[in-house]
Amino acid sequence: MSVIEIVSWKAKSGVTDEEMVVALAAMVPDLKTLPGFLYQSAGKDSQGRWVDVYYWDSVKNAHASNELMADKASLVTLLALVEMDTICMEVIEVQVSSDTVTLGGGER
């Protein structure tokens, strides 16, 4: 099963959604070079909180990604848009996935 890394934050005052989307998209090429990266999705809730969901092949690679991304210009650019004290990050091991559950409720 894969691992989910969920990162949420609020943008700094005056940062537009377009600026945030551009910054998030700019990170994708860097993420694709990291061991175990599967894919990423991001969005914004009605209270202005951004949520970025990353899928990794292991907890080890999810945690290692933070250090591997730390010096990337794409992350530095994104963090310049973020209220740093609002960042929340968690890594979750997937227990149930639509890929493994059948209509009868059993696993494949």
19-72 confidence digits (pLDDT tens):
999 999 999 999 999 999 999 999 999 999 999 999 999 999 999 999 999 999
Quote the CA–CA distance of 100 and 108 in Å, as a whole number. 5
In the predicted model, is pLDDT for residue 107 greater than 60?
A: no
Quote the CA–CA distance of 68 and 26 in Å, as a whole number. 16
> Residue 98's pLDDT band (boundaries 50, 70, 90)?
confident
What is 3-93's CATH number?
A: 3.30.70.100
What's the pLDDT at 96? 86
Residue ranges covered by each domain of the chain: 3-93
Q: Are 58 and 36 in contact (CB under 8 A)?
A: yes
In the predicted model, is pLDDT for residue 102 greater than 80?
A: no
Q: Which two tokens stand for residue 18?
A: 């377009």
